[in-house]
Every structure is written in structure tokens, then in C-alpha cells.
Structure 1
């Protein structure tokens, strides 16, 4: 049962799952009165302590976890994601989910099972967790593809010999894309951490509500979370490596510029010295009255400029 069905006057007592999206105080009061439960507030859903996220009140399990969803404030073409704290209240009669922003996984599960399903509240909760994990795995796959594309751009010559300004701009964009990929994978891992604890809590405190089939599905969920968490850790390591590599390439490009400027400044010192000497206004300077004095000074400036360049080239400093 969705919030819209509840507002339309459907009987909540006959429902096995009630999904409340941004409920009003009156709707919360109705559910609390019908089932004898206390729904967590928006502030309570944001608590990060394990004791606040996982607790048993009689035969009711109260669990909260952050779920990842696309930020509706941005257009679909922009991959902006946000964490939505979500409450799961599991009783022998009903599963109540409460959140204060739309969540695509819950909508997808509700559409998939339909109104005539025969699942128990615990089975419905497992449906939700499976959908959440599937979507999170898709997120990690997209992050992996993004990282591979950035890796090819950095290490396989797509940004070489395009000019310093263009190369630096491309590397800057690569670093920004890596930062966004890391942010997404970190949010997925944060969600996995909470979902994993929630699944473990359910396996321990909700055994009496799980038949053999549901228990096997729950263990599969726990194993999937463990494997995906390891995959996310490897993605984070790759992202960190690529960020370091991109930063190092930017530093190398900057060092090359500094090296060229250093060589140019060093090569410019001798001719400045020559010009400074012959620019002195002493009365007795033999070259001042010499007919070839001016060409000799120009040639000396040229020679003293070329000699440092030849020296740097011979030492392979340039």
C-alpha cells in the first residue's frame, strides 16, 4: 500500500506492506494507531548510531538505512545522487517503510509484486533489499566503466601532444570525473555498510519469521553485500591511483614549463652581461672606436646565448 492509496481511504489493516513517502502527521498517527507502532521521525532516521538504527521493540524490528537515489532537483542528464534515510518497521502483520524523498527501488518493487502478492512482510522486506542491492551493483558497474574510460584517456595517449593548456584542461576534467566517481562509490559503500548490518540484525532477531527459502535469500543478500563491498574497495583503490597519476602528470607538465623557462633565463644571462659591459660609458674602451666592434658584440651575444643551450642539450636537460 502506498501513501496515495492510504490517502484515498484504502484499509491499511489489510495491507502487508505500507510505503510512506513524506507522510503527514495525520497519516503517521493513523498507522501508529492501527498497528501499535511508533514511526521514526525524519531526524531519527538520520541517526548514525547502531543502537538507533537497529532495535527490537517487543516483536517489532525497527531498522533504518540510507538508500541511494537520483537527486530530482537536477535534470536526468546530470548524474547527481543523494542519500535518503529510510525506516523499515517489520511486525508480524505488516512491513512499514518510511522515507521523506521518492525512492525508485521501492516503487519498482511495488510495481513488480503487484497488489495480489502473497508474500509475508519479511519476504517483502527481502524483495526490497534485493532490489536495492541490484541497483547498487549497477551503480558500481557504471563507476567501473567510467574509471576504465578515464584510465584509457590518461595512459593510452589521448591527451599527449595537444598543447600544455589543453592537456592540463583534460587532466583537470579527468580528476573531476574521478572525484564524482569516488563520491558515488563512497555513497554506495555507506549504504552497503548499513544494509549489511540490517541484514545481519534481521538474520539474528527475525529467525522466527524466516522459513528455509527466506533464510537462504537473506544469506544470499549478505554474501552479495560482502562481495560488492570488496569490489567497491578495489574501485576506490583504482580511483585513488588514477587521481595520483593525473596529478603527477599535471606536475610533470608544469615542471617541463619551469625547466624551459629556467634554461631560457640561464641562456639569457651571458648576453645581458655582454650588453652591460659594452653599455658602460667609460672614455677608454678600445672597441668603441673599432669599426667591427658592433658586429663583434652582436656575435658575442649570440655565441654566449647558444653555448648554454648546447650544454643543456648535451647533458639531456632539455
Structure 2
């Protein structure tokens, strides 16, 4: 599908072109969405250059993504798009910047692209020439990457609170002044009667899944920003001489924004790894506590077992067997033998 954005006296309007149809005069931007071979050849003949195929676009080496043919620049960068199933994924967007026309080639349908196209139709000055259209699309890509990073940051903050939250019930107690009035309030925590609600292993598994999704999305954004950073540097060298002062300033601002987002994404990746390690540590602590409970129970029942074993022997001369209170005495010894280790463990702070 080929869409031509044409400028005339009435402003800017979009026109869908049929296969083989000539490009209208005044076209400043051609958008190729899922182009077939016929459409690719049609635009190639129009620009007198060989447009890249989908296989060419998918190549990862820089020389295949950023290059020039005569006065036409070819630039491909990864972008973040929402797939049909819902999650955000990585797509590719190719800019073909000619002196009198901008061509975009894409096999994805990102929402931000449609939003920019709709804005351009309302505000024709956004696409008054190919360079303006190119810069506007780059700004839209950077804004989308920033929005995704902000969303991931908010998700990580929420997950961090779930992992490191203080699971204690707090009560608010008023402070009374000398005149009997309440002057301020403070939080009071009764450490002896506090009710702790530690996160469960199931909830921590959910946190790990969420952290993994955040880390995967961060990596996709970092990939997109790395491609944008290389593209901006290439565009500054190739298209810079054709830009006016304002356009050069916009491209420089885009470069600074991309660089700052790259640093933020790197910090966010470190935060993701830290949060993942912390979550695994919480799970290990929970599992250790479970093992500790079984260990304490085993130690607590060993002395009663010893008492029961002694009085379960079949020796003939065991005077306690003939005592009237022998049975209650044995039971009492077993209870005391169980409570003794528990009291000792609690005194040492092991429970």
C-alpha cells in the first residue's frame, strides 16, 4: 500500500496510490506499508534508486542500514510497535531521504506513526518539505521510546515497593501539648504486637514474571535507541548540509534526547537486574524460613522421643513403671523436654 502526502494550495492531504499509478505532483512524503515487489519497483523507478527489500532491511550490519546512493540517503532503525496480540515488540522503519521527497518503508503499523500522520494533515507546516517530515517522524519515535521507558520505570517502582515494603501494621497516635490540644501526630509501631504479613512465594513469582517483562521491554527500547543514535549521527553528516539552522538545531536536540534516553535505559536495565536479584533473595529467605521451621520442630521433638524411648524399653527392673504417677510423670517430662529447646531458641532470637 502506497500513500502519498501531497502539498498544494489547500494544504496537505493524503492520497492512496494504486499499483502503477503515477505519483502526484507536489508529493513530499511517500509511505510504503507492506510493499510488494511491484510497488517497490514503481517507487524505485521514480527515484532512480534501488529501494531495499524486506530481507535487506532485516540485515543487522550498519553498512546495510545506513548508506547513500548518490544524493539519496537510506536509513533503517528499530522502533517499538504494539503487536496484534497486545505486547510491545520491535519493528523496523526505513527512511529514504531524497532531495525532493521522503519515502518511508515499514512492515509494521505503530500507533505513533498514525498519530503523526493525522497531525500532519491538520498542521500542514509539519510536512512542508521532506526534511521537516523526516525530523517530525524522528521526534515521534523518540517520544514513543520515552513514553515506554516512563511506563517501565513506573512498573519497576511499583514492583520494588512490593518486594521491599514494610509488612507491619502501623497505628497513628496523637501527641498532646501542654494546653491539652493535639499538636501533631506520629506513627507508633508496637514491635511486640506487630502483625507481619510477608509476601508469599506465589506473589514473588508474579513479581519475577513482571520484572522479566520489564527487562525484556527495556532491552527492546535500548535496541531502538541504539539504532536511533547511529541514525542521528549518520543523518547529521549526510543531510546536515541541506538543513537550515532551525532544522540542524532540531536534529541536535533529537540527538541529545536519544543520548539521555540511552543512559536512562542503561540505568533502568541495572535496576531491573537488581530487583530480580532482590526478589530471588526474598524467595530464598522464605524457603530458608520454611526449612528452619522443620529443623526447629525436629530438634524440639528429639528430647520427648528420647524420654518415650527410655520408658518404652522392656527391662524388668524399671521402678517408674510401678509408680501410680509414673505415666503423668513421663508425659510431663516429654512436654518439658519439648518446651525447653523452644524457649532456648526464642531466647537466642532464632525464632
TM-score by length of 2: 0.82
Alignment partner of 1:260 is 2:271: no
SS of 1:114's equivalent in the other structure is helix
Alignment partner of 1:120 is 2:129: yes
Greater helix proportion: 1
Structure 2 contact 97–130 (Cα < 8 Å) conserved = yes
Q: CA deviation at 1:110?
A: 1.7
Alignment partner of 1:43 is 2:76: no
2:225 corresponds in structure 1 to 192
Alignment partner of 2:94 out of 68, 87, 98: 87
Q: CA deviation at 1:162?
A: 6.8
2:157 corresponds in structure 1 to 148
SS of 1:274's equivalent in the other structure is helix
Alignment partner of 1:235 out of 263, 268, 275: 268
Residues 163-202 of structure 1: matches in 2 within 5 Å? 167-202=200-235
1:102 corresponds in structure 2 to 109
Structure 1 contact 105–128 (Cα < 8 Å) conserved = no
- Cα deviations across residues 45-70 of structure 1 (Å, max 9, x unaligned)? 22221111111122111111111011
Moved more, 279-288 or 217-226: 279-288
Q: Distance in 1 between matches of 2:71 and 2:332?
A: 98
Q: Distance in 1 between matches of 2:216 and 2:225?
A: 14
Structure 1 contact 13–34 (Cα < 8 Å) conserved = no
Q: Distance in 2 between matches of 1:29 and 1:46?
A: 19
Structure 1 contact 28–39 (Cα < 8 Å) conserved = yes
Cα pair distance change 1:302/1:277, threshold 3 Å: same
Q: CA deviation at 1:265?
A: 0.7
Q: CA deviation at 1:236?
A: 2.1
Alignment partner of 1:6 is 2:14: no
Moved more, 229-238 or 278-287: 278-287
Structure number with higher relative contact order (C-alpha < 8 Å, ≥ 6 residues apart)? 1
Structure 2 contact 19–39 (Cα < 8 Å) conserved = no
Structure 1 contact 65–195 (Cα < 8 Å) conserved = yes
Structure 1 contact 65–191 (Cα < 8 Å) conserved = yes
Structure 2 contact 204–279 (Cα < 8 Å) conserved = yes
Cα pair distance change 1:92/1:158, threshold 3 Å: farther
Q: Distance in 2 between matches of 1:147 and 1:133?
A: 21
Q: Distance in 2 between matches of 1:244 and 1:265?
A: 31
Cα pair distance change 1:36/1:13, threshold 3 Å: farther
Q: Distance in 2 between matches of 1:244 and 1:20?
A: 45
Residues 288-307 of structure 1: matches in 2 within 5 Å? 288-307=321-340
Q: Distance in 2 between matches of 1:241 and 1:148?
A: 12
- Cα deviations across residues 200-245 of structure 1 (Å, max 9, x unaligned)? 0010122232121111111010001011111222222222222222
SS of 1:63's equivalent in the other structure is strand
Q: CA deviation at 1:105?
A: 2.6
Greater strand proportion: 2
SS of 1:5's equivalent in the other structure is strand
Gapped runs of 5+ residues in structure 1? 75-79
Q: How many residues align?
A: 312
Q: Distance in 1 between matches of 2:197 and 2:148?
A: 35
Residues 48-63 of structure 1: matches in 2 within 5 Å? 48-63=60-75
TM-score by length of 1: 0.90
- Cα deviations across residues 57-116 of structure 1 (Å, max 9, x unaligned)? 221111111110111223xxxxx1011112111111221111112122322222212295
